[in-house]
Amino acid sequence: MARTRALSEYTEAEDKSMRLGFLLIAAGLLSLLGLGCCWLRPALQERGGGGSANCTVLAVRQLGERFACTFSCGAACRGTARYPCLQVLVRTSRSAAPALLHEDERQLRTNPKCSYIPPCARDDQENSENVTYKQKYWKEKVGSQPFTCYFNQHLRPDDVMLKRTHDETVLLHCFLWPLVTFLVGVLIVLLTICAKSLAVRAEAIKKKKH
């Protein structure tokens, strides 16, 4: 009875290990599929039509137009403020025509007319001060010094970005963790099968000796 009970408990633990392994395998595959369709594919499409270039500032100016942004002052507190539009025009090494600089692809989609969107504050004056500080930065600190910028011919060929939203590190992690989950699941299943096989052989050897 004790031996039968021990074998029953071992089989139950084995089943749990197998279920865990198959669950991890399924989670890894679904994660790869979901990330590939919803996130990784658009990211690769963005990078596919783009490249890097050397940029030099031509002009830094504020437009008279102001844009709305949404600020949050608590869980149930939201409001709308406004900020001035800052434009940084640059010349790139790939074209003689001036291009409008943006922080990244997300900022370009949010407001394609401006080069900078400040953190939205409740006070319009604070937003204006943040934009003015950024304007001085580009005029005085950067000036005519060349810097690396990025362009994307498919997104907007007349605009350039200061940085990419999807860099190599993000793409690596997008592949890495689902793959690790999948491999851990496969390892658990293989180890469980090997342990079961060894247990069966050991039981058969015991029976032969008795």
- Every domain of the chain and the residues it spans: 52-165, 167-204
Q: Using pLDDT thresholds of 50, 70 and 90, give the confidence band for residue 124.
A: very high
Mean pLDDT of 44-50: 53
Q: What is the pLDDT of residue 2?
A: 41
Task: Give CA separation, 149 vs 135, 144, 195, in Å.
Answer: 18, 14, 56
Q: Most confidently modeled of 29-43, 50-64, 124-138?
A: 124-138
C-alpha span between 123 and 83 (Å, rounded): 9
Q: What is the pLDDT of residue 200?
A: 77
Could you tell me the pTM of the whole model? 0.58
- The pair phi, psi for residue 93, each rounded to 5°, is -75, -10
Q: Position of tokens 């900078």? A: 116
Instruction: Write down the pLDDT at residue 36.
Output: 63
Residue 35 has pLDDT above 50, yes or no: yes
The reported pLDDT for the residue numbered 3 is 44
Whether the predicted pLDDT of 65 surpasses 80 = yes
Rounded to an integer, what distance in angstroms lies between the CA atom of residue 114 and that of residue 172?
31
Using CA atoms, how far apart are residues 8 and 86, in angstroms rounded to an integer?
72
209 CB burial (10 A radius; 0-12, 13-18, 19+): exposed
Which of 29-38, 40-49, 83-92 has the weakest average pLDDT?
A: 40-49
- State yes or no: pLDDT of 172 exceeds 70: no
